């Protein structure tokens, strides 16, 4: 993932050097968009790598192992958010569900902290918020499924 992000940044820089970044041309947003997307993917990849390397430490501290494939994790997100919102999921506090909601609203709202017409950084905040939201939901839904699996295994019967 990090390598793909670096490739996008390099392609964006090459496109900019080739003259596609000229505001007079019709493709002037392509290089900044490629660079911003590459930076966002590099950041998301670095966060994912750090979380993956820290997972054994979380398990050793009693955090439990994540479970479920991508489809199972996506299906678990509504139940996980609902339980967090109602206070039934002690591992995910209510403020985390509020942060996810705020991030989703920020992504779809036309109001931005950094406007999109700024070439390089305008879309960067949206990419960063989106990458955080997706990686956070994906990781936490895996932990949620892991806790559910542990509860089923502990039940007598």
Residue that terminates a domain, selected from 14, 41, 63 = 63
Q: Is 22 helix (H, G, I), strand (E, B) or coil?
A: coil
One domain, residues 48 and 106: no
Can you give the residue range of the structural domain that contains 46? 1-63
Tell me the pTM. 0.59
- Those residues whose C-beta lies under 8 Å from the C-beta of residue 63, and which sit 6 or more positions away, are 143
Q: What are the pLDDT digits (tens) for 18-72?
A: 877 666 666 677 788 888 888 888 887 787 778 777 767 666 555 556 677 888 9
Q: How many domains does the chain have?
A: 2
Do 58 and 79 have their domain in common?
no
Quote the CA–CA distance of 136 and 27 in Å, as a whole number.
Answer: 33
Q: What are phi and psi of 93, to 5 degrees?
A: -70, 160
* Residue 142 shares a structural domain with residue 126: yes
Q: What is the pLDDT of residues 79-103, one digit of tens each?
A: 999 888 888 887 888 888 888 999 8
């Amino acid at each position: 993932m990090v390598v793909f992000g670096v490739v996008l940044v390099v392609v964006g820089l090459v496109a900019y050097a080739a003259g596609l970044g000229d505001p007079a041309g019709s493709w002037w947003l392509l290089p900044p968009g490629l660079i911003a997307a590459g930076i966002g993917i590099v950041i998301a990849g670095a966060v994912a790598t750090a979380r993956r390397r820290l997972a054994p430490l979380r398990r050793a501290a009693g955090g439990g192992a994540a479970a479920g494939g991508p489809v199972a994790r996506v299906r678990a997100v509504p139940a996980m958010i609902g339980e967090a919102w109602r206070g039934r999921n002690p591992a995910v506090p209510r403020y985390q569900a509020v942060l996810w909601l705020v991030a989703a609203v920020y992504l779809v709202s036309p109001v931005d902290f950094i406007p999109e017409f700024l070439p390089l950084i305008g879309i960067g905040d949206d990419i960063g918020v989106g990458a955080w939201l997706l990686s956070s939901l994906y990781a936490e839904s895996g932990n949620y499924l892991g806790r559910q699996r542990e509860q089923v295994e502990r039940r007598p019967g």
